């Protein structure tokens, strides 16, 4: 599904978002949490200095 | 380097210039040149945003930092995902709907021309000098590592980037960034795989990571709350949040990337790409450094990685250097023996012996670091320069330890990282020069063709200026440091002006005076305290908002000042 207007068309109405903005925000926070957990596990498993 | 490696480097440079120049066609207007007619898909914009941040110093300096200091630098980026979320609901929709060319143009609509000119002028001053450093820093390393003359190294980095930026404009910059990112991430991934594969079979990945962990290199999180410690969890989450808000929300080199997006949704998605991938990518860069440290546990490392400095010390203080080298070699043998004994004890399940071996390993490691410290001190005394040896660890490792073709790919990736940052900065410097000053104050009513020619000329002039600064960067060292330090004073303050713009009651006088007060406050705090630089962004932003709001509340009149919604043309 194309989300944007044709490249050289004048500014038209804003295209409909691909997916809900709220689910995008939730996904960002979940990925951030998973990344930090992975780094924390790396530290807990092999760290010790 | 082997001729095949050189072939890879020059082949890549030729491809990048050709690819950039072929984008020149079909983009005739000034909006096409600076904003690609706001037609770019989110993934191109997202990769371009990431490529702009991934400078050559990230590839060689941050990996080196991983080797010498470990993973904790990644905390610097902990505020980034949250910053992207905040920007996607605040500044990004305003910029997008206002159809501005520069972030500062929005400030004129919200406040007045002088606030716009001042913020844009501060951007030009700091970025103009910084782009010289972006060229010179990798050029110094490449010239020392590859044995090139310094001007040739500057030309290798600067000329292709200037060429495709001048002729192709932002569209060339962003499409080239896509290729640069593929090469950079591919190169890093290949390096990571080779490093894991290079861990001796009788040691194993688990034991190797344990050894790195014993030295504290896998300790990512520091939860201590200290305003003077640079990298902690809290400075990253709070100070880093303000820095990233300022960088992605108010710095034209970043704002211009997502202004080219074809829709608001695309602009947001492009920023979320960084929110997803920046921390994992940065962790991978640091982990590569940690694995290089592991590699040199079992294979003798050079005493000095900066070969130019090593040659100078060998010539100037031969006897002293040889004595240090002999101590280093002995310490290395003992450390390797301890590391191997540690691995054997763990494999045999003898935890008590493993603990004793871990202690012995750490003692030997500290001895080695002390001897290396002596060598670095000798290098500094002999050459009169800070060796900055940490920046040479990865290039020296890649060029001396890895097979043919990999060094060529790595050098091409370093050039790619440098060019992608330079191109974005030249493009944004030219945009601010033409849109915020030339078209706004000098020639307000010229034709589009005239502005396009002026834009190309401005990009070329900024390119020549940046290469000139790069050539003299070594002798201009202290001046550049002053300018960069000055730049860090106003990063948070400029963010403060944009925060004010979001508050309906804020007035133009409050914004302008608040900006000056914010910079003065940061300067004063930096001068009188030891507060770590990430926190200065928080201080600057809040000082601007406090002074700006106080003045705005005291000021009579000004009710006709447009709100942010009105300035962006959004119906409330």
Residue of A nearest to B262 (CA): A4
* Tens of pLDDT, residues B197-209: 999 988 999 999 9
A 10 A CB-CB count for B273 gives 18
Among the partner-chain residues B206, B217, B262, the one whose CB lies closest to the CB of A4 is: B262
Whole-number pLDDT of residue B55: 82
A6: pLDDT strictly greater than 60: no
Whole-number pLDDT of residue B483: 60
Average pLDDT rounded to a whole number, residues B58-79:
89
DSSP-assigned beta bridge partners for residue B300: none
Q: Note the ipTM here.
A: 0.81
- Interface-testing mutation among A9, A20, A46, A48, with chain B (most B C-beta atoms within 10 A): A46
* Tens of pLDDT, residues B275-324: 999 999 999 999 999 999 999 999 999 999 988 889 999 998 889 999 99
Residue A11 confidence class, pLDDT cut points 50, 70, 90 = very low
| Contact criterion met (CB < 8 Å) for B263 and A36 | no
- Rounded Cα distance between B522 and B47, Å, is 33
B480: pLDDT strictly greater than 70: no
B507 CB-contact burial (10 Å; exposed 0-12 / middle 13-18 / buried 19+)? buried
Buried b (16+ CB within 10 A) or exposed e, B356-385: ebbebbbebbebbeebbebbbebbeebeee
Residue that has been written with the tokens 């409050």 in this structure: B510
Terminal Cα-to-Cα distance of chain B (whole angstroms): 62
Whole-number pLDDT of residue B503: 93
CB B119 within 8 A of CB B497: yes
| Contact criterion met (CB < 8 Å) for A15 and B219 | no
A8: pLDDT strictly greater than 50: no
Residue B41 confidence class, pLDDT cut points 50, 70, 90 = very high
* Tens of pLDDT, residues B132-174: 888 888 888 888 788 888 899 999 899 999 999 998 889 988 9
Whole-number pLDDT of residue B52: 87
Hey, what are B478's tokens? 């202290």
A13 CB-contact burial (10 Å; exposed 0-12 / middle 13-18 / buried 19+)? exposed
Nearest CA-CA distance, residue B217 and chain A, Å: 8
Hey, what are B473's tokens? 């960067």
Nearest CA-CA distance, residue A23 and chain B, Å: 12
Give Cα separations from B450 to B26, B29, B172, B453 (angstroms): 17, 10, 21, 5
- Interface-testing mutation among B234, B279, B568, with chain A (most A C-beta atoms within 10 A): B279
Average pLDDT rounded to a whole number, residues B46-64:
87
Residue B383 confidence class, pLDDT cut points 50, 70, 90 = confident
Percentage of chain B surpassing pLDDT 70?
Answer: 96
Residue of B101 and B19 predicted with greater confidence: B101
Buried b (16+ CB within 10 A) or exposed e, B456-479: bebbbebbebbbebbbebeebeee
A17: pLDDT strictly greater than 60: no
- Rounded Cα distance between A2 and B357, Å, is 61
Enumerate the residues of chain A whose CB falls inside 8 A of the CB of residue B87: none
Enumerate the residues of chain B whose CB falls inside 8 A of the CB of residue A25: 85, 88
Report the interhelical angle of B406-431 vs B448-471 (nearest 10°). Answer: 130
The set of residues, in sequence order, having a beta carbon less than 8 Å from that of B102 and lying 6+ positions away, is: B120, B252, B255, B256, B431, B432, B435, B436
Residue B390 confidence class, pLDDT cut points 50, 70, 90 = confident
B336 CB-contact burial (10 Å; exposed 0-12 / middle 13-18 / buried 19+)? middle
Whole-number pLDDT of residue B568: 82
- Rounded Cα distance between B358 and B339, Å, is 8
B477: pLDDT strictly greater than 70: no
Could you say which residues from 1 to 49 on chain A have a Cβ atom under 8 Å away from some Cβ of chain B? 3-5, 7-8, 11, 14-15, 17-18, 21, 24-25, 27-29, 31-32, 35-36, 39-40, 42-43, 45-49
Enumerate the residues of chain A whose CB falls inside 8 A of the CB of residue B268: 21, 24
SS (H, E, C) B170-190: HHHHHHHHHHHHHHHHHHHHH
How crowded is the C-beta side of B547, counted as CA atoms within 13 Å? 20
Residue of B462 and B391 predicted with greater confidence: B462
DSSP-H helix ranges across B432-532: 448-471, 477-501, 508-528
Phi, psi of B472 (to 5 degrees): -105, 10
- Rounded Cα distance between B59 and B391, Å, is 9
Whole-number pLDDT of residue B478: 59
Whole-number pLDDT of residue B146: 85
Whole-number pLDDT of residue B288: 95
Average pLDDT rounded to a whole number, residues B488-504:
90
Closest by CA to B135, choosing from B463, B563, B520, B560, is B463
A1: pLDDT strictly greater than 50: no
Enumerate the residues of chain B whose CB falls inside 8 A of the CB of residue A42: 71, 218, 220
Among the partner-chain residues B220, B269, B275, the one whose CB lies closest to the CB of A39 is: B220
| Contact criterion met (CB < 8 Å) for B81 and A11 | no
B331: pLDDT strictly greater than 90: yes
Mean pLDDT of chain B: 90
Least confident of B57-66, B141-150, B331-340, B476-485: B476-485
Percentage of chain B surpassing pLDDT 90?
Answer: 59
| Contact criterion met (CB < 8 Å) for A46 and B85 | no
Buried b (16+ CB within 10 A) or exposed e, B95-134: bbbbebbbbbbbbbbbbbeebbbbbbebbbebbbbbbbbb
DSSP-assigned beta bridge partners for residue B261: B40
Residue that has been written with the tokens 């609509």 in this structure: B109
DSSP-H helix ranges across B348-445: 351-383, 393-401, 406-431
What is the reported pTM?
0.88
Whole-number pLDDT of residue A5: 41
Hey, what are B466's tokens? 């940046």
Residue B392 confidence class, pLDDT cut points 50, 70, 90 = confident
Residue A16 confidence class, pLDDT cut points 50, 70, 90 = low
| Contact criterion met (CB < 8 Å) for A21 and B264 | no
CB B462 within 8 A of CB B128: yes
Least confident of B7-16, B216-225, B482-491: B482-491
Hey, what are B552's tokens? 């705005």
For residues B208, B209, B212, B215, the Cα torsion angle rounded to the nearest 10 degrees is: -120
Nearest CA-CA distance, residue B206 and chain A, Å: 8
Residue A2 confidence class, pLDDT cut points 50, 70, 90 = very low
What is the dihedral sign for C-alpha B44, B77, A26, B86? negative
| Contact criterion met (CB < 8 Å) for B85 and A29 | yes
* Tens of pLDDT, residues B428-444: 999 999 999 999 999 99
B567: pLDDT strictly greater than 90: no
Least confident of A18-32, B38-52, B218-232: A18-32
Residue B466 confidence class, pLDDT cut points 50, 70, 90 = very high
* Tens of pLDDT, residues B503-559: 998 999 999 999 999 999 998 998 889 888 888 889 999 999 999 999 999 987 777
Give Cα separations from B161 to A1, B420, B422, B472, B507 (angstroms): 34, 8, 7, 19, 41
Among the partner-chain residues A4, A21, A46, the one whose CB lies closest to the CB of B263 is: A4
Residue of B nearest to A20 (CA): B265
Whole-number pLDDT of residue B103: 95
Number of helical (H) and strand (E) elements in chain B, helices listed first:
25, 0
Residue of B nearest to A19 (CA): B265
Hey, what are B101's tokens? 């060319």
């Amino acid at each position: 599904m194309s989300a944007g207007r044709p490249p050289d068309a004048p500014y038209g109405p804003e295209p409909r978002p691909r997916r809900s903005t709220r689910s995008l925000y939730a996904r960002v926070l979940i990925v951030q949490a998973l990344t930090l957990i992975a780094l924390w596990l790396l530290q807990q498993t092999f760290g010790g200095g | 380097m082997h001729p095949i490696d050189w072939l890879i480097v020059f082949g890549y440079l030729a491809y990048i210039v050709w690819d950039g120049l072929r984008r020149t066609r079909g983009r005739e207007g000034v909006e096409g040149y600076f904003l690609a007619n706001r037609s770019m898909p989110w993934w191109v914009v997202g990769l371009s945003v990431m490529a702009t941040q991934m400078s050559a110093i990230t590839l060689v300096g941050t990996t080196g930092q991983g080797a010498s200091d470990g993973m904790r630098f990644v905390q610097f980026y902990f505020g980034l995902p949250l910053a992207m979320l905040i920007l996607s609901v605040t500044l990004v929709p305003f910029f997008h709907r206002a159809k501005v060319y520069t972030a500062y143009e929005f400030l004129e609509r919200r406040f007045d021309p002088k606030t716009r000119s001042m913020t844009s002028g501060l951007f030009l001053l700091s970025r103009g000098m910084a782009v010289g450093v972006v060229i010179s820093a990798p050029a110094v390393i490449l010239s020392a590592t590859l044995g090139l003359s310094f001007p040739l190294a500057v030309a290798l980095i600067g000329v292709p980037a200037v060429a495709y930026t001048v002729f192709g404009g932002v569209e060339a910059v962003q499409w080239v960034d896509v290729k640069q990112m593929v090469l950079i991430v591919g190169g890093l991934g290949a390096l990571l795989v080779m490093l894991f594969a290079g861990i001796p079979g009788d040691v194993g990945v688990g034991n190797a990571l344990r050894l790195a962990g014993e030295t504290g290199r896998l300790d990512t999180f520091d939860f201590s709350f200290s305003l003077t410690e640079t990298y902690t969890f809290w400075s990253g989450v709070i100070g880093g949040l303000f820095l990233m808000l300022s960088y992605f929300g108010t710095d034209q080199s970043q704002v211009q990337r997502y202004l080219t997006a074809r829709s608001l949704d695309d602009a947001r998605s492009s920023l979320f790409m960084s929110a997803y991938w920046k921390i994992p990518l940065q962790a991978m860069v640091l982990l590569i450094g940690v694995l290089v440290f592991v590699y040199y546990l079992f294979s003798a490392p050079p005493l000095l990685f900066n070969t130019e400095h090593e040659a100078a010390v060998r010539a100037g203080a031969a006897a002293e250097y040889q004595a240090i080298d002999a101590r280093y070699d002995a310490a290395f043998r003992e450390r390797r023996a301890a590391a191997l004994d540690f691995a054997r004890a763990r494999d045999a399940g003898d935890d008590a012996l493993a603990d004793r071996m871990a202690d012995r390993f750490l003692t030997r490691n500290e001895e080695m670091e002390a001897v290396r410290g002596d060598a670095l001190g000798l290098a500094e005394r002999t050459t009169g320069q800070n060796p900055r040896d940490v920046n040479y660890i990865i290039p020296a490792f890649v060029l001396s330890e890895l097979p043919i073709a990999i060094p060529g790919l790595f050098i091409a990736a370093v050039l790619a990282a440098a060019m992608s940052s330079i191109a974005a900065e030249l493009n944004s410097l030219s945009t601010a020069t033409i849109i915020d000053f030339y078209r706004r104050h000098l020639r307000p009513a010229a034709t589009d063709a005239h502005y396009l020619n002026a834009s190309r000329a401005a990009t070329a002039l900024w390119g020549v200026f940046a290469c000139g600064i790069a050539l003299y960067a070594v002798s201009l060292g202290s001046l550049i440091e002053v300018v960069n330090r000055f730049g860090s004073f106003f990063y948070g303050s400029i963010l403060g002006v944009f925060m004010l713009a979001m508050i309906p009651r804020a007035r133009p006088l409050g914004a302008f005076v608040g900006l000056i007060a914010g910079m003065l406050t940061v300067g004063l705090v930096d001068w009188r305290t030891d507060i770590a630089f990430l926190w200065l962004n928080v201080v600057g932003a809040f000082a601007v908002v406090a002074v700006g709001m106080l003045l705005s509340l005291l000021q009579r009149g000004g009710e006709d000042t447009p709100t942010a919604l009105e300035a962006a043309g959004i119906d409330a």
